[in-house]
Structure 1
């Protein structure tokens, strides 16, 4: 009971501060656009104009779909790329740390490729897949993959060797030590890598949609720019930010369920 109340108070304070900062930002926005007119609507529309455009986009198609259609299209492409990055990146990172021969063979390739920006792959992805979901999912994968590998590797490398030796003393083999001792201890670092991968993939997706999208939030923003609709652009930007926060909160909830002792 004490732990739960402590966790609740720990979480409520940041939420209160976050609400205050957002309220302050909204107040400044209203003052700058609707009250004093410091900024013109062609540069920064008022919050009321953005809310009106948001309501309009929910029911009326724009650039091929209503707002929810663009949201679902973006989430679909993002989920393909991120899930593949996690499924491949986490095991590869674990084996980088656990199997020196595997790291010696694969690490030079990984280190070379991870410094290539995701958007540098857009032209080749278009040649391979066309302007399709696979192209944008590939860009997401390339952006998300390194964080999964690096954090999984670091998590395994920082497992106390005493734990490994103790497992072997009790008769655990290599695979059992890895799955029952090393991976659970490395889980916090692995989840941190997944959170970074999710963020990197989300940002990369929007960039890819700006270039090759036919639906999605990035495409919505690009079409708003072509139609001189600043309010549409801001709806897309805000939707991207809100969805990113909600996704990260979901991952944090999963982290708390997997590791209830980490309540901070």
Structure 2
């Protein structure tokens, strides 16, 4: 009988009991307590060094601080005119003004809320449909032949190319905006799910079948779990494409939204509002990316270890 423990053993490629490790440990001498300054267990690759291993938080913080310092210097020393690059103080003052008084008949919270609803609504719909389609494309020749041509056809197209067609078919309402973002996210997410399925080791599949697993159990417990790293990568790429498409979606008959705010401010050369809107969009995109990384570490703890 194939169980979740068997799937766990197949995923990690090691079904040996942990008692064997305890059997080879030398017995602790009586009267000695635990070592306070005991060494931490070495990670795989620590001896010779894995390329890119280690935390980059300090470098990232230094880079961000350098950019902000350069921004302060360039604007306060009048290297660049305020029309082209306003100072951080001006952007912050505009942020406070828009958050309290509003811009284009809506406050910053209202602009942000409607944009988040559009992007994450389309993202949720894409996850519910693109991931199953990608998995089916990876495990079924019929599904691959049915879905691969249309996805590969429209995937390289920029959203602005088929935006007029969406407007002709569905009008200028909210549905057309969400649909445009959905289509932009769907293609990379489906392709990532398919790539994850195709990257599963055939030895893991054979091991699951030898333990008595059915085809459905192999797909759910082996193939889908092995494809999770690629799926999470596709989700991160997809949400980035969704934020990019948001500006294009809010170009048409919109009265609110971060993309609308940025485009409307650009028409009046309000560069402080434009930069403020860009920073807000980047902030929420970064927060979502960090959230996806955290969820990936929780759900895929074996990534990079097997």
TM-score scaled to structure 1, two decimals?
0.91
The answer on whether the counterparts of 1:70 and 1:220 sit within 8 Å (CA) in structure 2 is yes
The answer on whether the counterparts of 1:119 and 1:139 sit within 8 Å (CA) in structure 2 is no
1:189 corresponds in structure 2 to: 230
2:198 corresponds in structure 1 to: 157
Question: What is the Cα deviation at residue 138 of structure 1?
Answer: 1.1
Q: Give the greater-gyration-radius structure (CA).
A: 2
Does residue 96 of the first structure (1) align with residue 137 of the second (2)?
Answer: yes
Aligned length: 259
1:226 corresponds in structure 2 to: 267
The 5 Å alignment of 1:173-188 reads: 173-188=214-229
1:15 corresponds in structure 2 to: 57
The 5 Å alignment of 1:55-204 reads: 55-204=96-245
Which residue, 75, 83, 86 being the options, matches 1:33? 75
The answer on whether the counterparts of 2:86 and 2:271 sit within 8 Å (CA) in structure 1 is yes
1:209 corresponds in structure 2 to: 250
2:30 corresponds in structure 1 to: none
The answer on whether the counterparts of 1:33 and 1:45 sit within 8 Å (CA) in structure 2 is yes
The answer on whether the counterparts of 1:73 and 1:215 sit within 8 Å (CA) in structure 2 is yes
Q: Supply the distance in 2 between the matched residues of 1:105 and 1:199 (Cα, whole angstroms).
A: 27
For structure 2, list consecutive stretches of 5 or more residues without a partner in the other structure: 1-38, 44-51
Distance 1:248 1:212, change over 3 A: farther
Instruction: Render the CA deviation track for 1:162-187: whole Å, top value 9, x for unaligned.
Output: 11112112221111110111111111
Q: Supply the distance in 2 between the matched residues of 1:183 and 1:164 (Cα, whole angstroms).
A: 11
Q: Supply the distance in 2 between the matched residues of 1:63 and 1:116 (Cα, whole angstroms).
A: 32
Deviating more after overlay: 118-127 vs 65-74: 118-127
Q: Supply the distance in 1 between the matched residues of 2:163 and 2:193 (Cα, whole angstroms).
A: 27
Question: What is the Cα deviation at residue 129 of structure 1?
Answer: 3.2
Runs of 4+ aligned residues of structure 1 deviating over 6 Å after TM superposition are none
Q: Supply the distance in 2 between the matched residues of 1:2 and 1:205 (Cα, whole angstroms).
A: 47
Distance 1:25 1:88, change over 3 A: same
Deviating more after overlay: 132-141 vs 236-245: 132-141
2:48 corresponds in structure 1 to: none
Distance 1:180 1:201, change over 3 A: same
Which residue, 265, 287, 292 being the options, matches 1:251? 292
| RMSD of aligned residue pairs (Cα, Å) | 2.3
The answer on whether the counterparts of 2:189 and 2:238 sit within 8 Å (CA) in structure 1 is yes
Distance 1:256 1:43, change over 3 A: same
Question: What is the Cα deviation at residue 211 of structure 1?
Answer: 4.0
**Structure with the higher helix share, 1 or 2:** 1
